[in-house]
Structure 1
Amino acid sequence: MSQKSIRTPLNNVRGLGSAKEGAGHFIKQRVTAIALIFLVPYMMYCLITATQGGYDTAAAFVGNPINGVLIILFAGAAFLHMRLGLQVVIEDYIGKHTTRVVLLMLNTFVSIALFAAAAYAVVRIGLGA
């Protein structure tokens, strides 16, 4: 008893099919979403608390190691979640291969740059420089 493939003959020749990466991508996006469920309210608290007394109060708040680490974790989870979501949109709606590849690379580099800038700012403030 042979099992029939649902792929078209043209896709069989081209080798197009599942990239075997969908589940990992799905899980990463859900894990970052769950992390953000806890980190976003904390960040709201940080913004409200840290901005009440001006720059010195905010710098002292961010300079606290626990708060600094949680802010960096928030930035990492938020930018990774953003990159994963934009990746899906780009892959689904950009038809031209070259444009898609350029946008995917740009998406990755911008996400990394934004996280690096956020982490640098937190560490710089934390060190009191």
Structure 2
Amino acid sequence: MRSKTALGHVRGLGSAKTGAHHWWLERLTSISTLVLFVWFFVSILRLPDLGYESVTTWLRSPLNAVPMLLFILSTFWHIKLGMQVVWEDYIHESTKVFAITLTNFLVIGVGALAFFSVLKIAFGAEAQ
């Protein structure tokens, strides 16, 4: 039986050198999402009504469309980062890669749909 020191026992089980970066990205996206959510909430409250015409007219302004696109990007990026941590911490190895891959596809797909919808309204395409 061979005895190991504490350092020898944990060698190879430490940081993968990306944890701090991931942690900072989560914090930055949460702050940006919060700031953009406050902007969105205040902007919506200032509209005369929430009818289709009012909202689409509001979203056609570049001063509203650009922050809305940033809000979508920040929100979906934050969801991706957060769910990745959940899957890494609480899912068994056999399904972890599948769960992370599925989450990435869903986040990219739904985020792209939201992004495209804002661009369609911002550039004046009529609803069909």
Normalising by structure 2, we get a TM-score of: 0.84
Provide the rounded CA distance (Å) in 2 between the counterparts of 1:7 and 1:32: 37
For 1:55, which of 44, 52, 55 is the aligned residue?
Answer: 52
- Structure 2, unmatched stretches of 5+, are none
1:51 to partner: Cα distance: 7.1
1:6 to partner: Cα distance: 3.1
Cα 1:7–1:47, aligned 2, differ >3 Å: closer, same or farther?
A: farther
Provide the rounded CA distance (Å) in 2 between the counterparts of 1:79 and 1:7: 40
Q: Give the partner amino acid of 1:91.
A: E
CA RMSD of aligned residues (A): 1.9
Query: Per-residue displacement from partner, 1:40-92 (whole Å, max 9, x unpaired)?
Result: 11111233344715111111101101100100100111111111111111100
Provide the rounded CA distance (Å) in 2 between the counterparts of 1:47 and 1:24: 34
Cα 1:103–1:63, aligned 2, differ >3 Å: closer, same or farther?
A: same
Q: Give the partner amino acid of 1:89.
A: V
8 Å Cα contact 1:94/1:100 also seen in 2: yes
Tell me the matched-pair count: 121
Provide the secondary structure at the position in 1 that maps to 2:40: helix
1:35 to partner: Cα distance: 0.9
Provide the rounded CA distance (Å) in 2 between the counterparts of 1:102 and 1:6: 33
Normalising by structure 1, we get a TM-score of: 0.84
Partner of 1:112: 108
For 1:71, which of 48, 68, 72 is the aligned residue?
Answer: 68
For 1:122, which of 111, 118, 122 is the aligned residue?
Answer: 118
Using the aligned pairs only, state the percent identity. Answer: 35
Cα 1:120–1:51, aligned 2, differ >3 Å: closer, same or farther?
A: farther
- Structure 1, unmatched stretches of 5+, are none
For 1:28, which of 21, 25, 29 is the aligned residue?
Answer: 25
Does residue 101 in structure 1 map to residue 97 in structure 2? yes
Deviates most, 74-83 or 29-38: 29-38
